C-alpha cells in the first residue's frame, strides 16, 4: 500500500527522471560549434546578400551615421559597398568549401547563388544596386571584394564573361586613388594581387610597395606592425594588416617566386600575434575595449580565425581551443540585446546598440566586417579545428586555477 510519503517519493523520482531525460535530449540536439557559427553567418549575411541579389540593397538597407560623421553624403553612398565587400570577404572561404551535412550544403548553395547575383549587380552600371567604385573609401571596400575573390575561386570561376569584365573595370577604377600612408597600401596591393592570381595585367609596384613598407619599415616587435610610421595599440594588425599581408605574399610567392626572404619571418610574426590575440579573449568571450573601430565586433579577431584557416597556428595553440575562444567571442558580441535592428540589420556597437563607440567614418555598412571572424568556416567539418572536443583557452585555464607555461615575447629582427 502506498503511503502519502511513498507516493510523493515516486512522483519526485519520476520528475527527476523526466528532468534527466529532458537534459539528455537537449544534449543530443544542442548545436555544434560549427552549427552555431553557421547560425551567426546566416543572421549577419542574409540581409546584405539576399537583398543585393534581388537588386534591392539600396532600397532596404538603413544607413545610420554617427553624429560627428566626417562626410555624411559620401559615407551614405559608399555604405552599400562596405556592407557587401566585408560580408563577402568573411564568408568567402566557406563559399569555396565543399561538404558538410545536408542543411549546411543547402545553405551554402543558397549563398553561392545570392553571392553570384550580388556580385553581378554590384558591378553592373545598369543595376539599381551598382556600387560607387571611385574614391577613398571605395578603394578600401573594393579590396575586400578582391580578397573575397582571392579566397573563393569558385565565385570568380562561376561568374560569366560580362560580369568578370565589369569586376575588372570596377577594380581598375580604384587605381585613381592614392592610398593613405598606412594599412591602406594593402588595399591597393590586394587588388593587384587579385589580378596577379588570375593571370590578368597587374601593377607589381603596388604589390612591392605594400609588402616592403611593412617588412622593411613598420615591424615594431613582438608580432606586431605599426599602422604607418606611428604605432597605435588597436586591432588593425588583425582587422587588416596581417591577413592581407599573408595573402598578398602567398600570391607573390606562388605566381612570381618573390618575397621568399620575408615569408618565414612573416609566419613567425603571424604566429606570435595569434598567441597575443588568443590571450586577449577572456573567460566569457569579452576582450579589451581599446583602439579605434571597436564597433567591428568579432572582426577584430580576423587574424586569429585566418591563421586557423591557413592551418598556421603556432604549436602553443591547439585548434580546438581557438575554436572555443572564437565561439565565445561570437556568442558574446552577436547575442547581446539590440545587436540587430528589428529588421535584422546590425546596430552600431560592440555589446548591443552603442552609437557612441563609432568613429566619424563608421556607418551601418562598416559593421559587416564582423563577418571576417567566420573565415575558419572554410575548414572542413572533419578538420581538428571543428572535430576535436571543446578545449579551454588561455584565460579559462589560468582563471580556473590551471597551470601553464609563462608567456614570452618574440625576439625577431627583420633584415
Tens digits of per-residue pLDDT, 73-101?
Answer: 989 999 999 999 999 999 999 999 999 99
Per-residue model confidence (pLDDT) at position 1: 45
Please give the full DSSP string across 117-157, using - where no structure is assigned: HHHHHHH-TTSTTPPP-SSHHHHHHHHHHHHHHHH-HHHHH
State how far the Cα of 255 lies from the Cα of 237, in Å rounded to an integer.
25
pLDDT of 11 reads 46
Handedness of CA 284, 289, 291, 292 (dihedral sign): positive
Q: What is the per-residue pLDDT for 414?
A: 80
Report long-range pairs for 176-179 (Cβ below 8 Å, ≥24 apart). Answer: 176/134, 177/134, 177/135, 177/136, 177/138, 177/139, 179/139
Tens digit of each residue's pLDDT, the chain (415 residues) = 445 554 554 444 444 345 434 544 555 689 999 999 999 999 999 999 999 999 999 999 999 999 899 989 989 999 999 999 999 999 999 999 999 999 999 999 999 999 999 999 999 999 999 999 999 999 999 999 999 999 999 999 999 999 999 999 999 999 999 999 999 999 999 999 999 999 999 999 999 999 999 999 999 999 999 999 999 999 999 999 999 999 999 999 999 999 999 999 999 999 999 999 999 999 999 999 999 999 999 999 999 999 999 999 999 999 999 999 999 999 999 999 999 999 999 999 999 999 999 999 999 999 999 999 999 999 999 999 999 999 999 999 999 999 999 999 999 988 6
SS3 percent helix, strand, coil of the chain, rounded to 5, is 65, 0, 35
> What is the pTM assigned to this prediction?
0.93
- For 171-191, the pLDDT digits (tens) are 999 999 999 999 999 999 999
Q: What pLDDT score was predicted for residue 106?
A: 98
pLDDT of amino acid 413: 82
Q: How many CB atoms lie within 10 A of CB 105?
A: 12
Q: What is the CA radius of gyration of the chain?
A: 23
Alpha-carbon distances, residue 75 vs 78, 183, 341 (angstroms): 5, 20, 20
- Predicted pLDDT of residue 28: 64
Q: Which pLDDT does position 15 carry in this prediction?
A: 46
Q: How far apart are CA 413 and CA 390, in angstroms?
A: 36
Neighbours of 206 (CB within 10 A): 22
Q: Please check whether residue 69 is in contact with residue 360, taking contact to mean a CB–CB distance below 8 angstroms.
A: yes
Residue 245 grid coordinates = 599581408
Q: Give the pLDDT confidence score for residue 29 in this predicted structure.
A: 80
Tell me the pairing of strands 224-225 and 219-221. antiparallel
Residue 61 C-alpha from the chain's centroid: 21
**What separation in angstroms does the CA of 3 have from each of 8, 9, 10, 356?**
9, 10, 11, 65
Determine phi and psi for 195, rounding to 5 degrees. Answer: -60, -45
Amino acid at each position: 500500500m502506498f503511503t502519502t510519503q511513498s507516493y510523493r517519493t515516486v512522483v519526485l523520482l519520476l520528475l527527476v527522471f523526466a528532468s534527466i531525460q529532458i537534459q539528455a535530449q537537449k544534449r543530443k540536439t544542442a548545436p555544434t560549434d560549427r552549427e552555431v557559427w553557421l547560425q551567426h553567418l546566416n543572421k549577419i549575411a542574409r540581409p546584405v546578400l539576399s537583398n543585393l541579389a534581388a537588386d534591392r540593397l539600396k532600397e532596404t538597407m538603413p544607413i545610420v551615421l554617427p553624429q560627428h560623421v566626417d562626410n555624411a553624403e559620401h559615407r551614405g553612398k559608399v555604405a552599400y559597398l562596405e556592407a557587401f565587400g566585408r560580408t563577402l570577404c568573411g564568408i568567402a572561404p566557406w563559399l569555396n568549401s565543399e561538404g558538410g551535412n545536408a542543411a549546411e550544403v543547402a545553405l551554402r548553395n543558397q549563398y553561392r547563388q545570392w553571392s553570384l547575383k550580388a556580385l553581378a549587380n554590384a558591378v553592373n552600371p545598369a543595376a539599381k544596386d551598382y556600387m560607387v567604385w571611385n574614391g577613398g573609401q571605395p578603394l578600401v571596400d573594393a579590396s575586400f571584394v578582391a580578397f573575397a575573390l582571392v579566397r573563393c575561386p569558385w565565385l570568380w570561376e562561376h561568374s560569366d564573361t560580362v560580369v568578370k569584365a565589369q569586376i575588372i573595370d570596377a577594380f581598375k577604377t580604384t587605381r585613381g586613388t592614392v592610398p593613405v600612408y598606412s594599412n591602406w597600401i594593402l588595399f591597393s596591393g590586394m587588388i593587384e594581387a587579385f589580378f596577379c592570381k588570375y593571370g590578368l595585367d597587374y601593377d607589381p609596384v603596388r604589390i612591392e610597395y605594400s609588402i616592403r613598407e611593412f617588412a622593411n619599415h613598420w615591424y615594431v616587435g613582438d608580432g606586431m606592425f605599426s599602422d604607418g610610421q606611428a604605432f597605435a595599440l588597436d586591432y588593425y594588425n588583425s582587422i587588416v594588416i596581417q591577413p592581407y599581408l599573408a595573402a598578398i605574399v602567398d600570391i607573390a610567392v606562388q605566381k612570381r617566386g618573390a618575397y621568399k626572404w620575408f615569408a618565414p619571418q612573416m609566419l613567425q610574426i603571424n604566429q606570435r600575434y595569434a598567441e597575443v590575440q588568443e590571450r586577449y579573449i577572456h573567460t566569457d568571450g569579452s576582450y579589451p575595449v581599446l583602439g579605434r573601430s571597436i564597433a567591428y565586433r568579432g572582426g577584430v579577431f580576423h587574424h586569429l580565425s585566418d591563421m586557423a584557416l591557413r592551418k598556421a597556428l603556432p604549436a602553443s595553440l591547439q585548434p580546438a581551443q581557438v575554436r572555443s575562444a572564437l565561439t565565445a567571442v561570437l556568442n558574446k558580441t552577436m547575442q547581446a540585446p539590440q545587436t540587430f535592428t528589428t529588421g535584422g540589420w546590425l546596430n552600431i556597437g560592440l555589446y548591443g546598440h552603442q552609437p557612441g563607440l563609432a568613429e566619424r567614418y563608421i556607418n551601418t555598412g562598416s559593421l559587416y566586417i564582423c563577418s571576417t571572424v567566420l573565415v575558419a568556416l572554410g575548414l572542413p567539418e572533419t578538420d581538428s579545428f571543428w572535430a576535436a572536443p571543446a578545449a579551454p583557452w588561455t584565460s579559462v585555464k589560468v582563471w580556473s586555477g590551471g597551470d601553464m607555461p609563462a608567456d614570452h615575447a618574440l625576439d625577431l629582427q627583420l633584415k
